[in-house]
A = this chain, B = another copy of it.
Amino acid sequence: MRREWMEIVEHNAVAKDTYRMVLKGQIAEEVKDPGQFVHIQVSERFFLRRPVSIADVHPDKSEITLLYKVLGDGTEALTEKQTGDKLDVLGPGGQGFPVEEDVREALIVGGGIGVPPLYYLAKQLVEQGIKVTTVLGFRSKEESFLVEEFKDLGAVYVTTDDGSLGEQGLVTDRTGELKGSFDTYFACGPTVMLKAIANQLDDVRGYLSMEERMGCGIGACFACVVHTPEDDEKGYRRVCCDGPVFKAKEVVL
């Protein structure tokens, strides 16, 4: 983990309100696992950093790729950054998705802006010979992204709220049907989606990546705390350093 001024080497729109940014710097060489994130200081105007997942890594080029969606003032201001600009980045942070030895068939479930970290995960899984099936949910076709990239890695099912791409409906419409075809699932997306998935796939090993508002992003301030089930002695987990990825039953959604 370090604080570094990373150089923006690419920055372009990839879908409605969604941007791809490639950053160059040493942080890229320190990424351990898919699912880790960077904590970005957008500009002096903003007091808090913004957490954004690492969507891809090229350690050889010292580059990481981020995909972000404009959801407020900070992400809006981020769109104004130009190639060549330097960005104040803290990272890589958190515990990512473990790629355990005994995974054979993986299901990946992503919703909206939860999709990015799953791409780097899927690549890693495929590299290790694991079969990957992906279910992606978006609001609409124009907000969808990374679909073609996932297709290069295995079967991909897409659902959209309005049916403009793939099937109309929710990811759970599809994941239920796929049950039995995978031994482990990996999910990232809105909390309602994570809850639905965790309920539906209650008996399957699963990993979830969570979101919470952060202060420090390094484990010191206890802003990002979530509850654990009653039998857990510690009683809490910090999303920024114990997570963002947790075992499906490790935390209360």
- Which residues from chain A sit less than 8 Å from chain B, CB to CB? 44-45
Number of copies: 2
Point out the residues of chain B lying under 8 angstroms from A45, CB to CB. Answer: 44-45
A-side binding surface: helix, strand, loop or mixed? loop
Which B residue's beta carbon lies closest to that of A77?
Answer: B44
Give A44 to B45 CA distance when docked, in angstroms: 7
Give chain B residues whose Cβ lies under 8 Å from the Cβ of A44.
45
A176–chain B nearest beta-carbon distance, Å: 49
2 A-B pairs whose Cβ atoms sit less than 8 Å apart in the complex:
A44-B45, A45-B45
Q: How far does the Cβ of A132 sit from chain B's closest Cβ, in whole Å?
A: 45
Smallest CB separation, A126 vs chain B (Å): 45
User: Would you give the shortest CB distance from A71 to chain B, in whole angstroms?
Assistant: 20
What distance in Å separates the Cβ of A45 from its nearest Cβ neighbour in chain B? Answer: 6
Q: How far is the CB of A203 from chain B (nearest CB, A)?
A: 53
In angstroms, Cα B44 to Cα A97, docked, is 40
Distance between A72 CB and nearest chain B CB, rounded to angstroms:
16
Closest residue of chain B to A45 (Cβ to Cβ) is B44
A45 to B44, CA, bound (A): 7
Q: How far is the CA of A44 from the CA of B46 in the complex (A)?
A: 11
